[in-house]
Amino acid sequence: MIRVAVTGAKGRMGSTVVAAVTGAPDMEVVAQLDAGDPITKKTVNGAQVAVDFSVPGVTEANVHALLDAGVDVVVGTTGWTEESYARVRTHAQEAGRAVLIAPNFAMGAVLAMKFAAMAAPYFESAEVIEMHHPGKVAPARGIARARAEAGLGDMPDATEIDELGSRGGRVDGVPVHAVRLRGLTASEEILLGNEGEQLVIRTDSFDRVSFMPGVLLGVRRVIGRTGLTIGLDQVMGL
Please indicate whether residue 177 is annotated as part of the active site: no
| Nearest CA-CA partner of 187 in 80, 92, 108, 101 | 108
Q: How many CB atoms lie within 10 A of CB 5?
A: 26
Selected catalytic residue, list 41, 114, 136, 177: 136
Active-site pick, 10, 91, 114, 132: 132
Spatial distance between the Cα atoms of 97 and 162, rounded to a whole number of angstroms = 48
The pair phi, psi for residue 41, each rounded to 5°, is: -60, -35
DSSP string, 211-228: GHHHHHHHHHHHTT--EE
Q: Mapping DSSP to helix (H, G, I), strand (E, B) and coil, where does residue 5 land?
A: strand
H/E segment holding residue 22: helix 12-23
Q: What is the spatial order of strands in the sheet that 125-132 belongs to? A: 169-171, 174-180, 125-132, 186-194, 197-205
CB of 133 closer than 8 Å to CB of 181: yes
CA torsion through residues 92, 137, 21, 27, sign: negative
Answer yes or no: 136 catalytic. Answer: yes
Active site residues: 132, 136
